[in-house]
Every structure is written in C-alpha cells, then in structure tokens.
C-alpha cells in the first residue's frame, strides 16, 4: 500500500512539473543563447490580477561566459498586456521596432508582442532579441491595441511617461509613478465599472520658462457615459487643481484634463492638441464617385416610363380594334353571341330582359 502511494505521488509530481514546463513561454534556446535556469513565479505587479495574468516566467540564458536574464508575462488580452507594458516603462526609454511595441534604455528593453510582455537586460544584441521575439510570436495571440494610445499628442511628450489603465489598480499605479498621488481621489469617479479606459502622458514645453503638465484621457463606450462621469469627476476634483487650471473637457466619448499644469493656457493647448475626432455613420447607402449622376438616372426613368405607356396604348388599340372589326364583319358570330349571354334578373318587373339589347 505504501509503495502504491509513493508511486501515485511520484506520478503527480511528474505531471505537475510537466505542466509547469508547458506553461513556460520562453524558448529553450534562441540563436547562441541557451536556457540555464527558469522558474515560474508571481511578478511584483500590484495589478497583475486586474490585468488577467495567466503566466509569468523568469529565465537566465547563457552564451559562453555571458549571461542575460529574460522575463515573460502572459495576460488576458492585448489591452491588459498594454497596461502591464506601459507600467514598466521608464522615463527616457526610446522606442524601437521589436515586436508590436518596444522601448529600451541603458538598463534594459521591454517588448510587447501580442498577449506577452518581455523584459530583458541591456547586454544583448538587437538581432538576438529579434530571434527571441520570433521564437515566442507563434503563441503570442496578437490583437489590436487600445486606440486611446493614438490620441496622445506627440509634441512635447516625455518618452517613457505613457501609462494605460483598465481599472482602479492600474490608475492608482500610474498616478504614483507620475508623482501625482494627490489625484487618486479621481479613481472611484473615473467609472472603470462602466468600461472606462485611461491614458496618461507627461508633457513639457522647452524653454527657460517651459510649461509642464500631465495629460489624462478617459474614454467611455458612449458619449452619454462620458457626460455622466464628467460631473462625477468635477465633484471630487481637488479645489487646488481647479485653481491651477485643471478643466475637464469632453469630445464625444473622450474626456481630457491636464493634471497640475503650470498655466491654464498650456493646459488648454494640450487638450486642443488631442488627436481625437468623432465620426457619424449613416445607415443609408451613400453615393459613390463611380455612380451615374442623378440627372442621367432621372432621364432613364422618364424614358422607361414613356416606353411602357406607348406599349400600353398600342396594345389597348390593337385589342379593342380587333373586337370592333370582328363584330362589324361577323356580328354575333365570334363575340357577344346571344346563345351564350346570360343576365341575372331579380324579377322586379314582369318584362324579361333581352341580353341582345345590350350589344
């Protein structure tokens, strides 16, 4: 009995280790780098649960005497992955063309590829990183990234300051990394339970008296929800922020406000620079450039109607003419024969009606 129990436990341990090995996203080898050690562990992200984290792996690779660490996290969908990706950005990180999105500095590189976020030390070449991305892209579950990221103005934006939030934990984390914990009171009023998405970025105007500010965008599923939450946000907005020029503006389903601007004018310029336009889609089919002009269509309709009218007149005359000619030359022989004519009579008078009187 004891040996059977040991055997069952051994099989269970082997199955668990096999499952863990399958859950690791990182390859055993890419180019000259071979996996040395690898472990699955919980990352130090406060909103990992909010982002729908499914897997996190940390591995060490060796190539000769050189070693490099690589981390990989798999998340629920591209939006959740983008939230985690932006949370790891550092000020001054420069974009590069690895994966769907990537940025690097002297400390390392961060890559977004589908539902995966990869991070690596800086002591590895771009070609090696490209090989790593190619090795994991088959299981990366690619999808479109949140459109709100494209609304941010490009001029004056500090690279690496972008933050995306899908929920309250990501929202508070973004405010903390941007040094604006005083605006944490906006979290509950932002409306994440209504499907809101938030995007932050820090801006600076060059010059001796350069202006600064943090642009916050909040997008909602409908303009009605945006209008509803703008009032909630205004109620909890700190009085000091209002005095500093923080105003909430709505464009369609998007709310924009500048946190702690150095001037109300600079905040207004930032809000006006947001690259967002509403679009109205008609259910009716529109006229294409290749369609014929309306005058040509009307002429064809009139001509077609005329043809049908002429045909009706000709056929009517032909039908009536045949009957008239036949009755003239062959009276009572073909049409209106007396022996085939019947008239229903009510018998209100004693005189019978002769059907031939009608013809």
pLDDT tier at 116, thresholds 50, 70, 90: very high
Quick one: average pLDDT of 331-341?
66
pLDDT in tens, 259-288: 989 999 999 999 999 998 766 566 655 555
Residue owning tokens 């005497």: 65
pLDDT tier at 353, thresholds 50, 70, 90: low
pLDDT at 15: 39
Task: Tell me: pLDDT of 234 over 80.
Answer: yes
pLDDT at 243: 85
Task: Tell me: pLDDT of 99 over 70.
Answer: yes
Task: Tell me: pLDDT of 229 over 50.
Answer: yes
8 Å CB contact between 131 and 48 = no
pLDDT tier at 233, thresholds 50, 70, 90: very high
pLDDT tier at 326, thresholds 50, 70, 90: confident
Q: What is the CA radius of gyration of the chain?
A: 39
Distance of CA 318 to the CA centre of its chain: 67
Give the integer Cα–Cα distance in Å for 335 and 152. Answer: 88
Taking CB atoms within 8 Å and a gap of at least 24, the contacts of 128-135 are 128/30, 128/31, 128/32, 128/33, 129/98, 130/98, 131/30, 131/31, 132/26, 132/27, 132/30, 132/33, 132/70, 133/98, 133/99, 134/30, 135/27, 135/30
Task: Tell me: pLDDT of 36 over 50.
Answer: yes
pLDDT at 50: 79
Quick one: average pLDDT of 52-58?
83
In sequence order, which ranges of 137-222 are alpha helices (DSSP H)? 168-177
pLDDT at 6: 41
pLDDT tier at 8, thresholds 50, 70, 90: very low
Q: What is the percent of the chain where pLDDT is above 90?
A: 58
The terminus-to-terminus CA distance of the chain in angstroms comes to: 117
pLDDT at 302: 94
pLDDT in tens, 184-219: 999 999 999 999 999 999 999 876 567 899 999 999
pLDDT at 14: 38
* In the chain, where the domains are located: 23-143, 146-278, 296-358
Q: Which of 105, 114, 32 is nearest to 72 (CA)?
A: 114
pLDDT at 11: 39
Give the integer Cα–Cα distance in Å for 286 and 284. Answer: 6
Give the integer Cα–Cα distance in Å for 357 and 359. Answer: 6
Q: Which of 265, 267, 266, 244 is nearest to 257 (CA)?
A: 267
Q: Which of 172, 196, 192, 197 is nearest to 182 (CA)?
A: 172
Task: Tell me: pLDDT of 57 over 70.
Answer: yes
Quick one: average pLDDT of 162-166?
95
8 Å CB contact between 58 and 37 = no
Looking at domain 23-143, does it have CATH number 3.30.70? no
């Amino acid at each position: 009995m004891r040996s059977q129990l040991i055997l069952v436990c051994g099989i269970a341990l082997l199955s668990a280790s096999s499952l863990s090995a399958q859950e690791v996203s990182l390859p055993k080898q890419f180019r000259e780098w071979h996996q040395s050690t690898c472990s699955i562990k919980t990352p130090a992200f406060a909103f990992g649960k909010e982002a729908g984290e499914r897997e996190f792996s940390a591995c060490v690779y060796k190539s000769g005497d050189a070693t490099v660490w690589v981390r990989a996290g798999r998340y629920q969908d591209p939006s959740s992955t983008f939230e985690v990706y932006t949370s790891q950005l550092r000020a001054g990180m420069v974009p590069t063309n690895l994966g769907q999105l990537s940025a690097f500095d002297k400390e390392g590189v961060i890559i977004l590829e589908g539902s995966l976020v990869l991070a690596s030390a800086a002591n590895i070449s771009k070609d090696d990183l490209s090989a790593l991305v190619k090795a994991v892209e088959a299981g990366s579950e690619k999808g479109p990234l949140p459109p709100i990221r494209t609304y941010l103005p490009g001029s004056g934006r500090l690279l690496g300051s972008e933050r995306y939030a899908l929920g309250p934990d990501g929202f508070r984390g973004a405010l903390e990394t941007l040094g604006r914990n005083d605006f944490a009171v906006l979290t509950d009023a932002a409306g994440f339970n209504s499907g809101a998405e938030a995007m932050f970025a820090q801006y600076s105007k060059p010059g001796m008296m350069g202006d600064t500010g943090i642009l916050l965008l909040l997008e909602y599923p409908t303009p009605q929800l945006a209008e509803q939450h703008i009032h909630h946000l205004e109620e909890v907005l700190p009085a000091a922020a209002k005095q500093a020029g923080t105003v909430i503006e709505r464009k369609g389903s998007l709310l924009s406000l500048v946190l702690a601007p150095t001037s109300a004018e600079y905040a207004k310029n930032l809000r006006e620079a947001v690259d967002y336009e509403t679009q109205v889609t008609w259910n009716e089919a529109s006229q294409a450039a290749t369609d014929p002009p309306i005058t040509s269509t009307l002429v064809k309709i009139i001509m077609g109607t005329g043809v049908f009218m002429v045909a009706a007149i000709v056929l009517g005359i032909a039908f009536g003419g045949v009957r008239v000619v036949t009755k003239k030359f062959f009276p009572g022989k073909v049409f209106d024969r007396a022996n085939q004519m019947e008239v229903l009579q009510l018998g209100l008078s004693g005189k019978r009606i002769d059907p031939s009187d009608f013809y």
